[in-house]
Amino acid sequence: MNHVLLIDDDVELVGMFAEYLEQEGFSVTCMHNGEDGARAALTGGYAIAVLDVMMPGAGGIEALRQIRAGSRIPVLMLTARGDDADRILGLELGADDYVAKPCTPRELTARVRAILRRTQAAPENGPGVLLSVGKLTMLPEQRRATWDGQPLDLTSTEFNLLEVLARNAGRPVTKNDLSEQGLGRPLARFDRNIDVHLSSLRHKLGPLADGRSCLQTIYRQGYQLIKE
Amino acid sequence: MGRLFWKFFLCILLAQVTATIGVGGVFWLRDQARQRATPVLDSGPPAAIALDAAAATLRHGGLPALRSLLPDMRRPQLFVLDAARHELLGRAVPAELMHAVERELRDGAQGGDSAVWRGARRLVGPDGAQYIAFVSRDFGRQIGRDAGRQDGLRDGTGPGTLTPGLGPGPGPRRRIGQSVVIGATVLASLLFAALLAWYFSRPIRALRSAFEAAAAGDLAPRFGPGAKGGDELVDLGRDFDRMSARLRALMDGQRRLLHDVSHELRSPLARMQAALGLAHQQPDKIGITLERIERESNRMDKLIGELLTLSRLEASPDVLRREQVDLVELVDGLVADARFEAGQAAGGTALRVDFDADDSVNVSGDPDLLWSALENVVRNAARHGAPGGVVAVSVRAVDGLAQVEVCDRGPGIAPEDLPAIFQPFFRSGTSRTGVDGHGLGLAIAQRVVQAHDGEIVVANRDGGGLQVTITLPATGR
């Protein structure tokens, strides 16, 4: 399952990316506007969607919102370099990662691979492995998580990051480790990606008995999942 | 309370004090002059009583009785002259007083016998001797006592005369009253000065804070349209709001332009990088990818050229070079280019370009700028009007104006987008994808036409399509 959906209004660019990805062994479908792209992504026939959030109007962001309303398909955003607003909005809306445009096709392909590797992680942990930290329970091979018995609705990146934190519960995990193990790439400078995902996770996980969040920021070190 | 407040305050206070001193001084001087000029005769009721007393004394007691009376009459002071004009007690009578007495007596002789209130009177003694009696006003002692009575006569303006209600009270009480009034006046003056100063300096302080906010980058409107009418300071506030709104619009425009420019430059860059990636992946197809890279770099070059033209036109809106340009010749060349390109690109469904013109229509202007403006319009029509199959171009001289019309049968522009069509990088939603171009063409065309004192109008045609009309002032052939 390596069918990639490319959603971008730049026909020529998408054509070249498609050509490159096909050479790399992916099968590619291209869509040139947000509505068609969102509709295609929601069919469930794709492993990953690469979405340009800078399409005219609110096209890209709106498409992302539509996709997230009905699917947890991994979404890789193409954003403008230096445009933090779009990027953070996109991550908050549940995109898994971003690539700043202009980017080389090799970079894009590597990022697509990293996301697919994470989301399609083979159940090497063996069946029945269950991570449990306090009220949090995770089933990595089924990619399911519950908080206090209630199922959590997490994007694949959020799930990966939470899994890394749960495996290291009670110990701080550096942002670089989180990025490498959760996103499949080293932490870039000025990268707010991890922070945005963890802020979103904090909202989804309930508070502890004493009202604190179970995800603590350890100054200059990273994040820690509190073990009760 | 800033420094300005105190300046206003002191100026107003000074003006008030000066005015008070001036008016008071004028009245004081007039009063002094009147006192000096008034007949020094006293003609009031006490004087009449004194004169009656003198007359009765003379009639019944004779001259000795009158003579003994005179020293007792200190207030009012009575003088009696005998026929030889000698004062009975030998007191000196000033010459002015004598003149006044004589004038008075002369007036009395003319004015009949109702001389009861007159200040001087002829008396006839029992021995038939003639005397002249009169009452003099003794300034030094009488001014104080007369003050109460004279208030009614004066206008009540002098510094010491603001106490009409006090009447001829005893001295110390009056002095207290006067100082109370002076104190109240000074207080009131201070209060009014402070109020006026506050009233003037408040809008200026508001303006100052607005300027400070603007300097700090906050260009939000501060005075609002609420203050209707009003004085120059309110107008100034409104002007400030207008200025900051204009600045804000300009800054927003610049920021948007910069954003658009970087976005537009990034698109060809992204394609170039993608092409480079493909070249690395598939070295055998290097020819195709090099062509792509060349195309993209040409696009970037064109975009930068257009941007420079645009910014030059915005920086100096006047045309520097003016030559005689024949629009017919110019447009004819453009139409030929458009026909050639249409024939190349469209293949089967060739776009027809109709051209209709007068013999020659001359305008004065920069040929390069006019060429690029008209090229943008004609190209635009050829590009967007392709589905309609026909583009009609006409050049005419109408009433001393050169008119170029470019009409197509393409999709036209949504009515709500029409006002924005001349903005740089504006592209109508439908034409955004697929069609080459950056949305700078019409922006450049508009600025060129405006620099030539002309007008460019874009309208949707009946039955679909777009009509661009350019009007320029024509020159003689």
Q: ipTM score here?
A: 0.70
Q: What is the pTM of this model?
A: 0.57
Which residues 6+ apart lie within 8 Å of A127 measured at CB? A141
Query: Residue A172 belongs to what H/E stretch?
Result: strand A172-174
User: pLDDT tens, B259-300?
Assistant: 888 878 888 888 899 999 999 988 888 888 898 899 889 988
10-residue mean pLDDT profile of chain A (228 residues): values are 87 90 92 87 90 77 88 87 78 86 88 84 58 82 81 84 87 87 80 84 82 84 83
A179 vs A162: CA distance, rounded Å: 12
Query: Looking at the partner chain, which of A12, A54, A102 has a beta carbon nearest the beta carbon of B273?
Result: A102
A82 vs A150: CA distance, rounded Å: 38
What the block records as the tokens of A24 is: 């790399």
Strand order in the sheet with A222-225: A172-174, A222-225, A215-218
What homologous superfamily does CATH list for A3-119?
Answer: Response regulator (3.40.50.2300)
- Record: contact A105-B273, CB cut-off 8 A: yes
* pLDDT for residue B229: 61
Chain B residues with CB inside 8 Å of A54's CB? 263
Contact (CB, 8 A) for B421 and B428: yes
Q: A104 — contact with chain B (CB < 8 Å)?
A: yes
* pLDDT for residue B205: 84
In the DSSP assignment, the letter for residue B41 is B
A216 vs B214: CA distance, rounded Å: 41
Q: Nearest Cα to B251, choosing from B224, B207, B220?
A: B220
In the DSSP assignment, the letter for residue A32 is -
Beta bridge partners of A31: A7
A152 vs A161: CA distance, rounded Å: 14
Options B263, B280, B384, B452, the catalytic residue: B263
* pLDDT for residue B147: 42
Phi, psi at residue B121, to the nearest 5°?
A: -145, 145
Q: B32 — contact with chain A (CB < 8 Å)?
A: no
Contact (CB, 8 A) for B465 and B414: no
Contact (CB, 8 A) for B324 and B475: yes
B459 vs B467: CA distance, rounded Å: 5
Query: In this structure, are strands B77-81 and A222-225 parallel, antiparallel, or unpaired?
Result: unpaired
Query: What DSSP assignment string belongs to B49-90?
Result: HHHHHHHHHHHHHHHHHHHHHHHH-TTTEEEEE-TTS-BTT-
Q: B267 — contact with chain A (CB < 8 Å)?
A: yes
Query: What DSSP assignment string belongs to B315-332?
Result: H--S-S--EEEEHHHHHH
What the block records as the tokens of A103 is: 């980017």
* pLDDT for residue A209: 76
Phi, psi at residue B401, to the nearest 5°?
A: -120, 145
Query: Looking at the partner chain, which of A23, A57, A81 has a beta carbon nearest the beta carbon of B281?
Result: A23
B263 is known as an active-site residue:
yes
Contact (CB, 8 A) for B125 and B131: yes
Chain A residues with CB inside 8 Å of B427's CB? 56
Query: What DSSP assignment string belongs to B337-402?
Result: HHHHHHHHHHTTSPPEEEEEE-S--EEEE-HHHHHHHHHHHHHHHHHHTGGG-EEEEEEEEETTEE
Query: Looking at the partner chain, which of A9, A17, A105 has a beta carbon nearest the beta carbon of B433?
Result: A9
* pLDDT for residue B432: 46
| Range A131-225 has CATH code 1.10.10.10 | yes
Contact (CB, 8 A) for B445 and B371: no
* pLDDT for residue B355: 86
Query: What DSSP assignment string belongs to A77-92?
Result: EEEETT-HHHHHHHHH
The total of other beta-carbon atoms located within 10 Å of residue B440's CB is 23
Given the structure tokens 């021995």, which residue do they identify? B127
Structural domains in chain B?
232-312 (1.10.287.130), 322-473 (3.30.565.10)
Query: CA neighbours within 13 Å on the CB side: how many for A140?
Result: 22
Report the gap between the CA of B468 and the closest CA in chain A (Å): 26
Query: In this structure, are strands A75-80 and A48-52 parallel, antiparallel, or unpaired?
Result: parallel
Q: Say which amino acid occupies B442.
A: L
Contact (CB, 8 A) for B377 and B421: no
B383 vs B395: CA distance, rounded Å: 20
Residue burial B157-189, b: 16+ Cβ < 10 Å; e: rest: ebbebbbeebeeeeeeebeeebeebeeeeeeeb
Q: pLDDT 10s per residue in chain B (477 long)?
A: 677 788 888 888 888 888 888 898 898 888 887 776 555 677 777 778 888 888 888 888 888 888 888 887 776 778 888 877 788 787 777 777 777 777 777 776 665 554 445 677 888 877 778 888 888 765 444 434 444 444 444 444 444 444 444 444 455 676 787 788 888 888 888 888 888 888 888 888 888 888 888 888 888 877 766 556 667 778 888 888 888 888 888 888 888 888 888 878 888 888 899 999 999 988 888 888 898 899 889 988 988 888 888 888 887 767 667 888 888 888 888 888 888 877 766 555 567 888 888 888 888 888 888 888 998 898 888 887 766 678 889 998 888 888 999 988 877 788 888 888 888 877 665 444 444 567 788 888 988 898 888 999 998 888 788 889 999 988 865
* pLDDT for residue B180: 86
Nearest C-alpha in A relative to B426: A56
Report the gap between the CA of B384 and the closest CA in chain A (Å): 18
CATH 3.40.50.2300 in chain A is located at: 3-119
- Record: contact B273-A104, CB cut-off 8 A: yes
Helix, coil or strand: residue B34: helix
Contact (CB, 8 A) for A55 and A33: yes
CATH 1.10.10.10 in chain A is located at: 131-225
Q: Nearest Cα to B202, choosing from B229, B225, B230?
A: B230
Contact (CB, 8 A) for B445 and B456: yes
